[in-house]
């Protein structure tokens, strides 16, 4: 697999890039104050970063200028490899344009989630957009399954999530076909990176993000870095056991958070207990709850209680400044958050982590894609201080629920 090389930077360059990545656009005076570098050094470094296209310098009033990180890194192809298929977004940093492929088709046929079909589909994108061919700077794959960091394949115990990928080393496989740098990462870590870079967790040093939708996942930022643990598996909050008598989870345990509050779990509970005959989705459940359906409201409150127990335990271990809840379930809003908050009070979280704030994540169904951009740029030692509009996908689910 081709690996991304970090661009060598002097200490002062690195300090300025890190500051701009974490704190957004700054004046040169504030950069000097925050980094402790002299105004002359800051000026020299900014001029050199400007010449290499890493920062833009814009006048904000008669005297001051604002410095921000920018990227003209060519084209990034982001892929989310999930148990129900895959989605692809192309980020063209030169044309400042994003193209999304949500239900990829080749001709009339929906693409199956197999290595062969993914390569065929990506080849078609390159063929149909021939001007992209030599400009793909890299590919990031967000995988909705735990990864074995040694082999780059999906963990063997979870392979039934995506059986077609078997023991294939995903990054090597894609890199062999396209000969560009490929990064593979767990989707929840990418979502956390997006929230930390541009979303709810901006400017925090210790931050936890939990995503609740078709599955439950999470990511941890400790002391300003994504914490992956010894084997990349840290933050698997979906597999925190909440109810030892609960349903068997695909991980082999019982009563994991994911087996209780994932979309499938909530739909199953509603169907079993309330004889809902029609097909129903998490989005329907949230909409019904907002319209006053008592059973759906109860379901969401109970999910909130269970997430609350998990958060209380997580917070007692990591004492983060902030925990954000994302994913489709977070759109249930007050109903969900109030029940989480009640459990945190009941568990006396105040005693351990008095200043913790619980917030809704900013990016509902786009966090993984945006996280892939953040990850890729940080690997190239670049960044974007403020998320430009062209990179943001219109959030269809959000619009439907809040229309």
What residue ranges bind Zn ion (CB under 5 A)? Answer: 239, 249, 251, 253, 256
Q: Which is nearer to Zn ion, 261 or 289 (CB)?
A: 261
Residue number with CB closer to Zn ion (148 or 274)? 148
DSSP 8-state assignment for residue 92 = E
CB of 147 to Zn ion, least distance (A): 16
In the complex, least distance from residue 246 CB atom to Zn ion, rounded to whole angstroms = 10
* CA distances for 141 relative to 87, 145, 156, 247, angstroms: 10, 11, 19, 30
Nearer to Zn ion, 66 or 253 (CB): 253
Question: Which ranges constitute the DSSP H helices of 319-395?
Answer: 334-346, 349-352, 367-379
- Strands of the 55-59 sheet, one edge to the other: 26-27, 65-69, 55-59
**Minimum CB distance to Zn ion, residue 268 (Å):** 15
* Closer to Zn ion by Cβ: residue 239 or 269: 239
Rounded distance, CA 219 to CA 207, Å?
8
Helices marked H in 145-293: 170-178, 187-198, 257-261, 263-274, 282-290
Nearer to Zn ion, 123 or 231 (CB): 231
Which string of DSSP letters, residue by residue, matches 125-157?
HHHHTGGGTTTEEEEEEEESS-B-TTTSSBPGG
Nearer to Zn ion, 221 or 310 (CB): 310
Are 217 and 261 in contact by the 8 Å Cβ rule? The answer is no
Place of tokens 């008598």: 245
Smallest separation (angstroms) from Zn ion to the CB of 260: 10
Alpha-carbon span 276 to 285, nearest angstrom: 11
Least CB distance to Zn ion at residue 254 (A): 8
CB of residue 253 to Zn ion, shortest distance in Å: 5
Least distance (Å) from Zn ion to the CB of residue 229?
16
What the block records as the tokens of 261 is 């509050």
Q: Tell me if residue 365 falls in helix, strand or coil.
A: coil
Among candidate residues 140, 80, 84, 139, the one with its CA nearest the CA of residue 110 = 84
Q: Any idea what the Cα angle at residue 169 is, between residues 168 and 171, rounded to 5°?
A: 130
Of 37 and 267, CB closest to Zn ion: 267
92 vs 187, beta carbon nearer Zn ion: 187
- Shortest distance in whole angstroms from residue 249 CB to Zn ion: 3
């Amino acid at each position: 697999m081709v690996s991304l090389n970090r661009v060598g930077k002097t200490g002062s360059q690195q300090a300025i890039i890190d500051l701009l990545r974490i704190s957004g656009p700054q004046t040169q005076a504030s950069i000097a104050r925050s980094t402790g570098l002299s105004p002359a050094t800051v000026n020299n470094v900014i001029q050199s970063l400007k010449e290499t296209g890493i920062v833009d310098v814009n006048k904000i009033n008669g005297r001051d200028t604002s410095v921000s990180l920018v990227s003209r890194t060519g084209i990034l192809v982001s892929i989310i490899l999930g148990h129900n298929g895959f989605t692809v977004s192309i980020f063209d940093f030169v044309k400042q344009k994003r193209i999304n492929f949500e239900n990829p088709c080749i001709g009339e046929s929906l693409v199956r989630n197999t290595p062969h079909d993914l390569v065929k589909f990506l080849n078609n994108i390159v063929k149909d957009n021939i001007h992209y061919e030599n400009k793909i700077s890299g590919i990031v794959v967000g995988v909705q399954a735990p990864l074995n960091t040694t082999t780059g394949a999906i963990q063997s115990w979870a392979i039934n999530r995506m059986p077609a990928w078997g023991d294939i080393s995903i990054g090597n496989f894609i890199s062999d076909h396209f000969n560009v740098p490929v990064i593979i990462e767990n989707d929840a870590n990418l979502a956390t990176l997006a929230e930390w870079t541009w979303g709810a967790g901006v400017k925090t040093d210790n931050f936890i993000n939990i995503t609740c939708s078709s599955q439950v996942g999470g990511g941890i930022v400790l002391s300003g870095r994504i914490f992956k643990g010894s084997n990349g598996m840290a933050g698997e909050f979906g597999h925190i056991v909440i109810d030892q008598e609960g349903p068997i989870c695909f991980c082999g345990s019982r009563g994991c958070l994911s087996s209780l509050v994932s979309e499938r779990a909530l739909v199953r509970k509603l169907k079993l207990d309330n004889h809902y005959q029609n097909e129903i989705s998490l989005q329907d459940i949230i909409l019904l709850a907002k319209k006053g359906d008592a059973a759906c409201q109860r379901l969401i409150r109970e999910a909130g209680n269970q997430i609350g127990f998990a958060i209380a335990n997580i917070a007692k271990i990591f004492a983060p400044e902030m925990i954000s809840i994302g994913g489709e379930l977070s759109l249930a809003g007050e109903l969900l958050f109030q029940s989480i908050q009640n459990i945190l009070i009941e568990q006396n979280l105040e005693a351990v982590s008095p200043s913790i704030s619980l917030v809704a994540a900013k990016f509902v169904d786009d966090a993984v894609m945006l996280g892939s951009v953040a990850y890729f740029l940080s690997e190239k030692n670049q960044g974007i201080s403020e998320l430009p509009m062209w990179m943001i996908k219109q959030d269809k689910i959000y619009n439907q629920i809040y229309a």
